[in-house]
């Protein structure tokens, strides 16, 4: 049963990730079609096509590996430069070394391949091309995908925080302490009877208020108790639906980090429960996660290098470090196969999917091709060039030819592949675990 639950957790994560990617691509597809761009393909996954169906001018399909996706828009790049324009570019780059020329030939081949693939999308598209759109429409199309991931994260975190709730220490008593400790963190007893036990409190009692102050959770109750060592306090207790008032005087216990200061102690342990949060808690958590993930993305190369070093040294990995999809699958499997109540396991996987959508949102905003942020930068640069030409009363410049950035794209893809490979290897050999 445990193995089956583990497999179910992994499958749920993979399906959830595939849905997240599908919606990401819909975020590109809908505005592209709304702005009149011809979209030839909408595909989820990579590799061989499992099935596809054409609706109008667009082929919709699913490929073997559901770990990515794309839409094929007509004219993502402007038409290839004319022979005269190419000659001008070649003249501007003369004088390079032989090694540089060999490298340039390799990258020129990549550029030419990209131009030929782009040229195929231009056939019959006429004015319905991406590169002809105003800058703001191109930006909307490219940001549509990441926005869908952010929206999914907000929905998932809202379900998690307001639907399932957050594990919270409640004011319901689970058990009583048998003694008063010698300090706030000590297990040794200073006396043999705690104030709550002396006052007659029992497991299952719920603290409603303290000295007339309503308490919503154990944290609030603890703050009031700790602030009143040696002072009698009136506790309103709910027992089986009936409320009554008891007087308890918190014992004075020295703080472990400051023995000269006493804090109040009555000797009750709380019951944990999932407590629903306000509707704004989910969006707030999503935004906070954006900042945390952005910090990881900025330091990603360094963190991946540190992760790689653990493969050699055998040291423990940073629990807040990056994961591959393999690592995320292991975490999901462990959540599903844990001994926690089923509601906690489901909530855990929902939270994991929400975090993955935040990661997709932030990662795709990185301003490098082939990521969405890179296409946004190209569109903005094109707009700046046209704006400057108008200001300077010069002829409109040629559209920015992003195919010239194919060498940069190649380096970025290679770097991502290396980092992804390192993380997958680490998740297989030295995985992070909930256990």
Catalytic residues, by residue number, are 25
Tell me how far CA of residue 204 lies from CA of 123, 168, 173, 416, 422, in angstroms.
74, 16, 5, 54, 51
Whether the CB-CB separation of 250 and 114 falls below 8 Å is answered with no
d(CA 54, CA 2): 42
* 304 neighbors 419 (Cβ within 8 angstroms): yes
Cα distance between residue 375 and residue 367, in whole Å: 8
Residue 45, SS3 per DSSP: strand
Whether residue 108 is preceded by a cis peptide bond, meaning omega within 30 degrees of 0, is no
Give the number of other CB atoms < 10 A from CB of residue 172. Answer: 17
Cα–Cα distance, 82 to 84 (Å, whole number): 5
Query: How many Cβ atoms are within 10 Å of 338's Cβ, its own excluded?
Result: 17
Scan for tokens 């472990």, then name that residue.
Answer: 256
Q: Find out whether 147 and 362 touch, Cβ atoms under 8 Å.
A: no
Cβ atoms 169, 270 nearer than 8 A: yes
Q: Which token pair is 8?
A: 């179910």
Backbone Cα Rg of the chain: 30
Q: Which helix (H) or strand (E) holds 72?
A: strand 58-73
């Amino acid at each position: 049963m445990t193995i089956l639950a583990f497999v179910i957790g992994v499958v749920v994560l993979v399906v959830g990730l595939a849905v997240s990617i599908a919606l990401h691509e819909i975020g590109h597809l809908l505005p592209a079609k709304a702005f009149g761009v011809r979209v030839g393909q909408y595909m989820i996954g990579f590799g061989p096509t499992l099935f596809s169906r054409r609706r109008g001018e667009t082929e919709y399909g699913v490929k073997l590996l559901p770990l990515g996706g794309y839409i094929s828009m007509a004219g993502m790049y402007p038409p290839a430069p004319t022979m005269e324009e190419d000659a001008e570019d070649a003249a501007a780059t003369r004088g390079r070394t032989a090694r540089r020329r060999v490298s340039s030939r390799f990258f020129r081949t990549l550029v030419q391949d990209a131009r030929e693939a782009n040229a195929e999308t231009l056939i019959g598209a006429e004015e319905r091309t991406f590169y002809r759109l105003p800058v703001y429409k191109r930006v909307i199309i490219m940001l549509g995908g990441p926005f869908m991931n952010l929206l999914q994260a907000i929905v998932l975190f809202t379900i998690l925080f307001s639907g399932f709730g957050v594990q919270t220490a409640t004011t319901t008593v689970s058990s009583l302490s048998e003694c008063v400790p010698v300090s706030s963190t000590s297990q040794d007893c200073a006396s043999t009877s705690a104030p709550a036990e002396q006052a007659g409190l029992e497991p299952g009692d719920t603290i409603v208020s303290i000295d007339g102050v309503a308490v919503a959770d154990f944290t609030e109750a603890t703050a009031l108790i700790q602030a009143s060592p040696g002072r009698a306090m009136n506790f309103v207790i709910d027992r089986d639906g009936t409320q009554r008032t008891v007087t308890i005087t918190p014992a004075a216990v020295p703080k472990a980090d400051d023995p000269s200061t006493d804090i109040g102690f009555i000797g009750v342990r709380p019951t944990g429960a999932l407590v629903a949060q306000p509707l704004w808690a989910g969006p707030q958590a999503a935004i906070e996660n954006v900042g945390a993930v952005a910090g990881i993305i900025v330091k990603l190369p360094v963190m991946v290098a540190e992760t790689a070093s653990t493969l050699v040294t055998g040291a423990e990995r940073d629990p807040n470090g990056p994961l591959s999809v393999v690592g995320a699958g292991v975490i999901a499997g462990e959540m599903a196969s844990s001994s926690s109540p089923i509601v906690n396991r489901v909530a855990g996987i929902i939270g994991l999917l929400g975090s993955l959508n935040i990661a997709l949102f932030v990662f795709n905003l990185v301003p490098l091709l082939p990521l969405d942020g890179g296409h946004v930068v190209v569109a903005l640069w094109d707009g700046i060039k046209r704006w400057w030409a108008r200001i300077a009363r010069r002829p409109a410049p040629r559209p920015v030819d992003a195919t010239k950035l194919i060498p940069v794209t190649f380096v970025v893809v290679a770097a991502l592949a290396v980092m992804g490979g390192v993380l997958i290897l680490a998740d297989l050999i030295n995985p992070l675990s909930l256990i």
